[in-house]
Amino acid sequence: MTPTAPTTPRQQPLLQVLDLRVRYPVNDSLGFWPKTRQLEAVKGIGFNLYAGETLGVVGESGCGKSSLAKALMGLIPSQSSLLKWFDQDLTNIPLQRWGAVRRDVQMVFQDPLSSLDPRLNVLKIISEPLRTHEPGLSAEQRKAAVIETLIKVGLEESVLYRYPHELSGGQCQRIGIARAIILRPKVILCDEPVSALDVSIQAQIIQLLRQLQREMNLTLVFISHDLAVVKHISHRVMVMYLGTMMELGHKDRLFKEPAHPYTQALLDAVPKADPRKERHKSYSLLSGDIPSPLDPPAGCVFHTRCNRADAQCALQEPSFKASESSSYACWHPLLST
Amino acid sequence: MACATRWTRRTAEVSTHSSLLEVKNLNVHFQTPEGELQAVRDLSFSLRQGETLGVVGESGSGKSQTMLAMMGLLANNARAEGQVLFKGDNILNLPTAQLNRVRGPRLAMVFQDPMTSLNPFLKIERQMTEVLQTHQNASRGQARAAALQMLEKLRIADPLRCFNSYPHQFSGGMRQRIMIAMALLSQPDVLIADEPTTALDVTVQAQIVALLRQLQQEHGTSIIMVTHDLGLVASLSDQVMVMYGGRVMEHAQADDIFYNTRHPYTRALLESVPRLEHADDALLAIPGMPPSLRNMPPGCPFAPRCARADNDCQHPAPLRLVTDGAADHWFACHHTDAPA
Amino acid sequence: MPSSTPAAEPERSPWRDALLRFRRNKAAVTSLVFLVCVTALCVIGPWLLPHAYDSTDWDALKLAPSLNHSHWWGTDESGRDLLVRCLVGGRISLMVGILTTLTSIALGVVWGATAGYLGGVVDQLMMRIVDIMYAVPYLLIAILLVTVLGRDFYLVVLAITAFSWMDTARLVRGQTMSLRKMEFVEAARAMGVTTPRIVFEHIVPNLMGLVLVYATVTVPSVILTESVLSFLGLGIQEPMTSWGVLIHDGAQMLDSAAWLLILPALMLSLTLYSFNYLGDGLRDALDPKDR
């Protein structure tokens, strides 16, 4: 059940993004006078998404991965020099005109219980995309489609008339996934889909997503703070920090030989379920806390915590070097050459 | 505020003295409109000085209720039975006045969400000195000095500025460090940490863990770490207790839990939780879901999801000792041979 | 694919759960029963009683209440039976209360949900209008309206509606703004559901619990307002009566025929009390924290 090998980059990408920026106005007033500052949640990200692959996006709090997902879905406004979904140029197009994309790009949310309307039963929740995009269907046809989708996500027909609060977290997340796949989209963006679930249920949902990807030839963007989960489901992985892309590469290479010091720090920080190894572990921890996204460091955003940083890192932001084997933004990468 | 720590190796000496904290046959019941529910069943363990106990479990396992029962922090509709012996004296269900002499100064607790544990309206200095002034009758000056010293020990840069700030001005990691500082001010014998790093980023978690280890070495504090993260347990614990459905499933030294697993649930957990060191194919999902307190299966709580369950499992398995183990290794399963 | 579903149970929609919780609240259920009885009495009673509300019984002027004669609650100075007048007055008061509440809630929900969901300039504008309405002295305007246009039943309803919709609007706006941030609303937007559909299918149904509670508390306040207007002599026209009118008239007879004040006032108070208890009970039953 290994994720199948990713398609070669020569293929036409489903999504092309260049220099994507997301800004939020934030109320920063201390006293009476209102003062609004701009929070740059995403600072110029560029990448392509290819058919049939799973792109994992990993990072800690404040890295902007959720904002990235919402911007790609067109839920929040963003600026970019290029944003193309399925060859449709949506660069800087206002969100109301994104309509056609909504059929082919769906989203699965983090909290299974709050992403479902508590006043609607399962049938109504899962059939909502059908009612929105295919109004010509009869109620019978919709019900049949919903039942078919329920079986696909491993639920039984008996949950059809139940309400979210009667079901467990794992079941609710399956319903969220069912709602996302019923229109047979091409791409699904998963925003921390297993983080709110019990550990013994996480594996079930991960297996489900992999299975659906194979069966329906889906492309997934999988966002998580949990490196282990990302490792199990992704083909390529993007590492983000304070709104900037630190590294992007094939999963095997990135986890074995990361190019960016931050990626290495993340991998080191995850405790392994192996007491002997943990006891004899020896490495330097990152110093300090993650800076606030309102006040990011100058130059390379990671330089305040990096033990390889020097004067250049504090002054100049490194540009993204893309190559066949590894793509990273660092003045002092961990490459052997 | 930087906090750079070199990762310290585990060389803490575990005292060979008699146990500092001993829990015997703890049971916790809740009165609800739907009837009486049992959150913890027949739980026992002992903790020596300088030792770390990792308590692993998912939701509904009863791990948090156990800690709350020990600290006397259960909800009004809950009832605890059994014995919690701290240095030989039973502190379970003690009246508040007597309990307060132990709880806080000798037995400290750190919770998951530091934001709700800290008073947003008081400055840090006030919250920290209050602890010492109440419990140790310290004067304001003495308390201040001790608190400053603790902050320095935790490598919190600029402790004076920290003193004068409010909780919301800090990041999650900082707040958790402050909480730990507050818990350690009176140099407790036992520190109970209930999911202390779940809400934190992984790099910050690593710092907190290093901090706990360092403090344990310096003060010989015993730690009870409650978590669902097996990696965290592996990096900190001497002994590990695995809970499910209110019962103890397996209880052994850390090495035995990970390398000589006996209980099917522990094995299933090790195989199903995604880990970096796993190969991709090795993820085996456990079918079903954790039981709710209202629908607890008769017999072994894990039986509905266990691949090895049979008719015997309708009756709960008693904890039995592994006979070929070096140290005390208990597990509750009818199938005594090691799972494949 | 393994996934155990809970044992088959009857459908448990959030409304059904709330109903079950409500039934456990004895005070609320009693209040509901009382209100239903009062309403039934007011509607059916006048047909069952021997006296008409406007007919004068020349033999029984200012008669004290007693069970010995046919005027169980006594009569007023014009010989009109008080019981029948209380019931007929109850019809009017309750009708004004319920009708006004319905219209003011409807207006408040639409206004508040629109302002809360759209936000920005539209929200600011709509809420400033609400603020202006608050600043207007309603009693003065009501008096003006009634004096100029006459004392018509529907005019009274209109006048009171005009000044009671703002509370609902503010409440609904606040709730809408917090509902807007919920993940299921975001999910609907991500799906491409249009804004009007989101407001009507997701936001308003999740508000209705709160609005229902608010409505049960608005009814007594409206009835009271109508009573005040009637007390000032600006409410319902003679010979039609309402509780307010009866209290107004009864107050003038306090020293000689105290029952003319006490009995209608008692009826009004008990009804208002019951509405409030009902509202409390509904709020507790619908409280999502209980789930």
The reply to whether A128 touches chain C by the CB within 8 Å rule is yes
Going from the C-alpha of A199 to that of each of A43, A195, A268, B276, the distances in angstroms are 33, 9, 21, 15
Residue C2 falls inside a structural domain: no
What is the pLDDT, as a whole number, of residue B143? 85
**Cβ–Cβ under 8 Å, residues A83 and A20:** yes
What is the pLDDT, as a whole number, of residue B176? 85
| Contacts with A, B 131-170, CB within 8 Å | none
pLDDT tops 90 at residue C229? no
What is the pLDDT, as a whole number, of residue C175? 92
Residue among A75, A117, A208 whose CB faces C184 most closely: A117
Chains in contact with A, where contact requires at least 3 CB pairs less than 8 Å apart: B, C
Least confident span in A22-31, A171-180, C118-127, C276-285: A22-31
Q: Between the ranges A37-41, A184-188, B156-160, where is the mean pLDDT highest?
A: A184-188
End-to-end CA distance of chain B: 49
Residue C217 Cα, gap to closest chain A Cα (Å)? 24
- Among residues A235, A314, A292, A249, the alpha carbon closest in space to that of A7 is found at A235
Residue A275 Cα, gap to closest chain B Cα (Å)? 4
Q: Between the ranges B33-37, B72-76, B221-225, where is the mean pLDDT highest?
A: B221-225
Report the percent of chain C where pLDDT is more than 70.
94
Instruction: From chain A, pick out residues whose CB is under 8 angstroms from the CB of C202.
Output: 117
- Among residues B313, B302, B229, the alpha carbon closest in space to that of B270 is found at B229
pLDDT tops 70 at residue B11? no
pLDDT tops 60 at residue B340? no
Inter-chain residue contact C3 with B287, CB threshold 8 Å: yes
pLDDT tops 50 at residue A141? yes
pLDDT band of residue B16 (cuts 50, 70, 90) is low
| Domains in chain B: ranges and CATH | 21-237 (3.40.50.300), 243-331 (no CATH)
Check residue B64 and give left, alpha or beta (phi > 0: left; psi -120 to 50: alpha). alpha
Q: Which residue is listed with tokens 């079986």?
A: A151
Instruction: From chain C, pick out residues whose CB is under 8 angstroms from the CB of A171.
Output: 3, 5
Inter-chain residue contact A75 with C291, CB threshold 8 Å: no
Inter-chain residue contact C5 with A204, CB threshold 8 Å: no
Residue C259 falls inside a structural domain: yes
What is the pLDDT, as a whole number, of residue A145? 93
- Among residues C135, B240, C139, C136, the alpha carbon closest in space to that of A273 is found at B240
Q: The domain A15-27+37-328 belongs to what CATH superfamily?
A: P-loop containing nucleotide triphosphate hydrolases (3.40.50.300)
Residue C75 falls inside a structural domain: yes
What is the pLDDT, as a whole number, of residue B149? 84
Please count the residue pairs, one from chain A and one from chain B, whose beta carbons lie less than 8 angstroms apart: 163
Chain C positions touching chain A (beta carbons under 8 Å): 1-3, 5-6, 8-9, 11-14, 182-184, 186-194, 197, 202, 205-206, 288, 291
Residue A168 Cα, gap to closest chain B Cα (Å)? 8
pLDDT band of residue A176 (cuts 50, 70, 90) is very high
More confident residue, C136 or C17: C136
What is the pLDDT, as a whole number, of residue A325? 67
State the average pLDDT over residues A281-308.
81
The reply to whether B288 touches chain C by the CB within 8 Å rule is yes
| Contacts with C, B 294-313, CB within 8 Å | 295, 304
Residue C261 Cα, gap to closest chain B Cα (Å)? 46
> What is the number of other CB atoms lying within 10 angstroms of the CB of residue A34?
8
The reply to whether B214 touches chain A by the CB within 8 Å rule is no
Least confident span in A118-132, B133-147, C9-23: C9-23
Q: Best mutation site among C3, C12, C178 for testing chain A: the one with the most A CBs within 10 Å? A: C3
pLDDT tops 70 at residue B6? no
| Contacts with A, B 237-296, CB within 8 Å | 237, 254-255, 258, 268-270, 272-278, 280-281, 283-287, 289-290
Going from the C-alpha of C128 to that of each of A95, C124, C131, C133, the distances in angstroms are 28, 6, 5, 9
Average pLDDT over chain A, rounded to an integer: 86
The reply to whether A283 touches chain B by the CB within 8 Å rule is yes
Question: H helices of A87-158, where?
Answer: 101-104, 122-133, 139-152
What is the pLDDT, as a whole number, of residue C115? 93
> What is the number of other CB atoms lying within 10 angstroms of the CB of residue B79?
14
pLDDT tops 60 at residue C272? yes
What is the pLDDT, as a whole number, of residue A337? 47
What is the pLDDT, as a whole number, of residue C3? 36
The reply to whether C2 touches chain B by the CB within 8 Å rule is yes
Q: How many CA atoms lie within 13 A of C171 on its CB side?
A: 22
Domain, as residue range, for C238: 14-51+70-290
| Count of all residues that appear for chain B in the document | 340
Residue A205 Cα, gap to closest chain B Cα (Å)? 9
* Phi, psi angle pair for B22, to nearest 5°: -130, 125
Residue among C6, C183, C197 whose CB faces A109 most closely: C183
- Closest chain C residue by Cα to residue A131: C193
Average pLDDT over chain C, rounded to an integer: 83
pLDDT band of residue A211 (cuts 50, 70, 90) is very high
State the average pLDDT over residues C211-229.
85
Residue C199 falls inside a structural domain: yes
pLDDT tops 50 at residue B3? no
Q: Which residue is listed with tokens 């309405």?
A: C133
**Cβ–Cβ under 8 Å, residues A36 and A25:** yes
> What is the number of other CB atoms lying within 10 angstroms of the CB of residue B27?
16
- Closest chain C residue by Cα to residue B285: C2
Q: Which residue is listed with tokens 């007390």?
A: C231
Q: In the sheet where A105-108 sits, what is the strand order?
A: A105-108, A187-191, A219-224, A54-59, A236-241, A244-250, A327-328
What is the pLDDT, as a whole number, of residue B147? 85
Inter-chain residue contact A167 with C6, CB threshold 8 Å: yes
* pLDDT tens column, B215-227: 888 888 899 999 9
The reply to whether B338 touches chain C by the CB within 8 Å rule is no
**Cβ–Cβ under 8 Å, residues B264 and B246:** no
Report the percent of chain A where pLDDT is more than 90.
36
More confident residue, C119 or A325: C119
Least confident span in A4-8, A260-264, C241-245: A4-8
pLDDT tops 60 at residue C83? yes
pLDDT tops 70 at residue A30? no
What is the pLDDT, as a whole number, of residue A263? 92
Instruction: From chain C, pick out residues whose CB is under 8 angstroms from the CB of A179.
Output: 187, 191
What is the pLDDT, as a whole number, of residue A28? 66
Angle A169-181/A122-133 helices, nearest 10 degrees?
Answer: 20
Inter-chain residue contact A154 with C2, CB threshold 8 Å: yes
| Contacts with C, A 145-174, CB within 8 Å | 153-156, 158-159, 161-163, 165-167, 170-171, 174
Instruction: From chain B, pick out residues whose CB is under 8 angstroms from the CB of A204.
Output: 285-287
The reply to whether A225 touches chain B by the CB within 8 Å rule is yes
Residue B33 Cα, gap to closest chain C Cα (Å)? 11
Q: Best mutation site among A117, A172, A182 for testing chain C: the one with the most C CBs within 10 Å? A: A117
What single-letter DSSP state applies at residue C201?
I
* pLDDT tens column, A35-78: 777 888 899 899 999 999 999 999 988 888 989 999 998 888 88
What is the separation of C-alpha C8 from the centre of its chain, rounded to a whole number of angstroms? Answer: 40
Inter-chain residue contact C191 with A114, CB threshold 8 Å: no
What is the pLDDT, as a whole number, of residue B339? 57
What is the pLDDT, as a whole number, of residue C4? 38
Residue extents of the structural domains in chain A:
15-27+37-328
What is the pLDDT, as a whole number, of residue C5? 39
State the average pLDDT over residues A214-232.
92
pLDDT band of residue A29 (cuts 50, 70, 90) is low
- Closest chain C residue by Cα to residue B304: C4
pLDDT tops 80 at residue C200? yes
Residue A233 Cα, gap to closest chain B Cα (Å)? 8
Six token digits for residue B143: 């308390």
What is the pLDDT, as a whole number, of residue A57? 95
The reply to whether A198 touches chain B by the CB within 8 Å rule is yes
State the average pLDDT over residues C113-119.
90
State the average pLDDT over residues A112-137.
90
How many structural domains are present in chain C?
1
What is the pLDDT, as a whole number, of residue C70? 77
Please count the residue pairs, one from chain A and one from chain C, whose beta carbons lie less than 8 angstroms apart: 87
| Sign of torsion over alpha carbons C86, C88, C92, C97 | positive
Chains in contact with C, where contact requires at least 3 CB pairs less than 8 Å apart: A, B
CATH number of the domain encompassing residue C39? 1.10.3720.10
Residue C148 falls inside a structural domain: yes
What is the pLDDT, as a whole number, of residue C8? 41
- Closest chain A residue by Cα to residue C15: A119
pLDDT tops 90 at residue A189? yes
Instruction: From chain C, pick out residues whose CB is under 8 angstroms from the CB of A114.
Output: 182-184
Beta bridge partners of A247: A239, A328
Residue among A99, A118, A170 whose CB faces C192 most closely: A99
Question: Would you state the torsion angle of the CA atoms of residues C134, C139, C144, C145, taken in this order, to the nearest 10 degrees?
Answer: 70
Least confident span in A142-156, B36-50, C1-15: C1-15
Inter-chain residue contact B283 with A207, CB threshold 8 Å: yes
What is the pLDDT, as a whole number, of residue B17? 56
Angle of CA points A145, A150, A152, to nearest 5°: 95
**ipTM of the prediction greater than 0.85, yes or no:** no
Greatest distance between any 2 Cα atoms in chain B: 66
- Among residues A305, A304, A334, A329, the alpha carbon closest in space to that of A317 is found at A329
- Closest chain B residue by Cα to residue A274: B234
Residue among A201, A269, A275 whose CB faces B203 most closely: A269
Distance CA B264, CA B308 (A): 8
Distance CA B182, CA B226 (A): 19
The reply to whether B172 touches chain A by the CB within 8 Å rule is yes
**Cβ–Cβ under 8 Å, residues B262 and B331:** yes
Residue C2 Cα, gap to closest chain B Cα (Å)? 5
Residue among A102, A118, A161 whose CB faces C14 most closely: A118
What is the pLDDT, as a whole number, of residue C2? 36
Instruction: From chain A, pick out residues whose CB is under 8 angstroms from the CB of B173.
Output: 289-290
Residue B287 Cα, gap to closest chain C Cα (Å)? 5
Least confident span in A233-247, B253-267, C105-119, C215-229: C215-229
Least confident span in A116-125, B100-109, B152-161: B152-161
Residue C77 falls inside a structural domain: yes
